Amino acid sequence: AMDWGSANADPDVDEAPKHESMLRAQNLMLEASGLSPELINSWNINPLELDRARNRAAVTYFLGPHVHAMMFDPVNMSHFLDSAESGYIKSVPYHTWFHAVDVTHCVYRLMDMCDAQEYLNNVERYALLVSGTCHDIAHPGLNNIFLVEASHELALRYNDKSPLENMHCARLFEIVGNPKCNIFANLSSPQF
């Protein structure tokens, strides 16, 4: 497993060699899966056309520390992604793991195109990418209005206030509550 260091690294230490090493490792992982940085950094990637391994490689690249400089345990990230993927309901036609990979790709691309590092700090960029990955986790394929009108258990649990969004967020925090999946373990309390 790669040691990508600590989120609380000394700001006076030159991080350029570590950043270059991370980027090389991420690019090698992409190439080993049959993907190229050129494809990843374009709008031409379609998660529906990729097998499971390539989708995993792509989303791992999008969440990689070369994008936001936040360090995490790569084994925890693998467990996190396993849990996130399994949290999407396969029988729902749209809100699937493929959709999550697609949205995470869009977040990744838009952050790059808009120079997000100029106005979002490392933690904010990391949080945005992670939220893209779990933004529709466990989506039942019904909208909030239906859930409220039908007095669905989610509407009742969240007092009719954005039941889907509250549930997606709660599921994300349930996943990272498992120490094996805690991709935020290196964050300080204020960062978390």
66 is a catalytic site residue? no
Residues with Cβ within 8 Å of 181's Cβ and at least 6 positions away in sequence, in order, are: 76, 79, 80, 83, 175
Q: How many CA atoms does the CB half-sphere of 140 hold within 13 Å?
A: 13
Structure token pair of residue 16: 């350029």
Residues with Cβ within 8 Å of 179's Cβ and at least 6 positions away in sequence, in order, are: 185
Q: Which of the residues 66, 68, 79, 95 is marked catalytic? A: 95
> What is the maximal distance between C-alpha atoms in the chain?
57
Asked whether 7 and 70 are in contact (CB, 8 A), the reply is: yes
List the catalytic residues: 95
